[in-house]
Chain A
Amino acid sequence: MVVADRYEMVCGLEVHVELQTKTKIFCGCTTEFGGEQNTHVCPVCLGMPGTLPVLNREVVNYAIGAGLALNCEIADFSKFDRKNYYYPDLTKNYQTSQFDLPICKNGGLEIEVDGVKKWIGITRAHMEEDAGKLVHSGETITTSDASSVDYNRAGVPLLEIVSEPDLRSIPEVLAYLEQLVQILEYTGVSDCRMEQGSVRFDVNVSLRPIGSATFGTRTETKNLNSFSSVRRCMEYEIARQARVLDEGEEVIQETRTWDEGRGITLALRSKEEAHDYRYFPEPDLVPLVIDRQWVEEIRQTLPELPRERRNRLQELGLSAYDAAVVTQTKAMADYFDQGLAQGAEAKGLANWVMGDLTRLLNSNQCQIADSPVSAQQLVELIKLIDKGTLSGKIAKSVLEEMYASGKDAEQIVKEKGLAQISDEGALLGIIDGVIAANPQSVEDYHAGKERAIGFLVGQIMKATKGQANPGLVNQLLKKKLSD
């Protein structure tokens, strides 16, 4: 359904990202993913009476790092609060979170959609604990009168990043999320493994008639865990709200859930009062005071961020597209930088990294950080081409061999005798033979058929198993034919 002719969509996002600490936010239990149910728990994260939480220093470090990377102000004074609600994924009947004094505020990031740049504000980012997981055994979900709870995830540190309602289209939303996740991955605050639920999205969507200055009533769809779910959920929700408005009815402000299987959003059964979280200051945790020195220490540890990297690579001659591809992940960007440090020329290196290397990695389901061909080895291969030792075509098969064996290019070239023939004497002998064997083609060439030379070059390449230096062959052949 096309709604863009009547309504403008307004969207703001809340992104929950699991921080990559070894232990939970308030206790020493491991944050490792996938342990046996209820084995990564202790009296603190189980909410036993009489226990006291103690804040993990690394959570604060990561929150500061993420805040700086997202252009936020870091609060010199911040505190924790209790968010009260009843749901069995919480052990304490409240979630320890931050309410009025979050650690980060007033940030943002720049997105680009169809060549148009736009600043998307980030209202705040705050620290909180994750909840446990409700597990329903599939076949009994409708008939069973009970749910199972695993608290391994309860107390895993989260950073909740809240955007301004600055987003106006699905492509803008996806661009914002891609940028955000990329920045978080670069700064190393999170592994950002969406398939493990390390990043989750709450999407606030409303529509308003085009030209209206006030926002329409919004719905919030919670707990999406992939970009494609966000896109599909928004497409559905925009169409649904447009239908409601077209019929002259009002959108109800409510929390909805996304049904991935059916591709629809559903209203959560919740009374209005469920939103009354009765926040109050957490008496079990003392406030957090962050001085400038602490912030500067964290700033020193931050890597060059994606945008700066892309700009630097474009200055080295890469197109915007190429620069974006080789900086997609920090691992790839680091690999690329290692290649540059070995003296590779940017464009040539980009072609190999984006082309043959990526193809080999993908077909072997290998991450670039685990590439059997190091950046240094790849650059040595490229240098062999530049020197004229290898033809580009043969270099491709050498790379495959390097990938399979881990050997250096030079070694493979030596072992297999793949070096390009650039010896004029040797080539002239072969050229003479080919000319003698193909009088018709020679005649055609002299009669003005330029194409005939291509055939002759092909015959020479064939005779040398592709190892002849093509440039030199062309040059020598033309000279011979004009003699």
Chain B
Amino acid sequence: MTALLEPGRYFADGNFAITEGALVGGCRFFAGYPITPSSEVLERMSERLPKLGGHFIEMEDEIGSMAAIIGASNAGAKSMTATSGPGFSLMQENIGLGIITETPTVVLDEMRAGPSTGIPTRVGQGDVMQTRYGSHGDLAPITYAPNSVQESFDITIEAFNSAEKYRQPVIIASDQVVGHLSEVLEVKPLEEYDVVQRMMRKHDDEKGVFSYTEDYVPMFVAGTGFRGNVDSLTHDERGYPSNEASVEKEMLEHLLGKVKKNEEKIVKYEEFLVEDAEVTVVAYGITSRAAKQAVRIARKKGLKVGLFRPITLWPFPQRRIEEIAGHTREFIVPEINYGQYSHPIREYSRSETREIHFPPGAIPDYGVILKEIEGAFK
């Protein structure tokens, strides 16, 4: 295969879908370090990218991988890395570098059981808060959590688009099961995919490197004659470092504001029988598929329960959760961790929120969720 995927139906796993989705999204540079369960992405990239005239490098660690993809993006290439928990931890500092330098790039964190090395081959969802708060300082991350092979493909294209539109690293928080399960993937003709092209600054643009009054200005790319400074220090619109709290305020409010102001455009979710639900289950990634089964069975038993599935974990779907809280008396949040996403659900719904803690290492059992739903109606 020397080109992008031909339109058609494929039987493929999530790692295949993410790799091919990235290529459709314009990814032409990949730097990574092997780690279970995402290694297949790295391996497939090493085969596919050179054929497309792109570049692949296996770095010495995940710190270097993250630095390399930010460097490559600043040299004009749409870039990506793929990892899992331990590698994602190592990437945190340079994710912050991507945020402060407003560099588009995509990071796949395929979650496995933790902490530390945990169970490399088995599923977990313990990195959800790390995708929100993992890097130090204030940030407004964009995180997608696909729950199928099809969505892994589609959401990766969208992740590349969001990275360009909002000029920052975008995270795909998939999980080991979604990465490794095989199911049908439908690929449309390429022209039907909306792919945001990299906008480049004109070399004679009088404005500074950044703008704190506009949500978006095209980035300058090295070697095009702009001759600007890009800095990890707090910087003004010229890109020059500053120790002033007033500059920090201006910069930070721009970095946070560009996501906040576009929240309605970025936030994605799927709903199943939520409209009249007295109890709403909130679940993402592989857990959402077990949750859907539980909701289906509960409905057959006459229980008014629905499923809200955030596709963007961050920004948090605040408006919709507040609306649902208007008619739902209780939320149930099953996760493959000991309670992470349940916290913002409780915070924004201001409603009774039950947590279901699935221990990392196994696929969630829908029966456990069903029992909790029944409990909520007793």
Whether A and B are associated in the same complex: the answer reads: no
Please give the residue numbers on chain A whose beta carbons come within 8 Å of chain B beta carbons, in ascending order: none
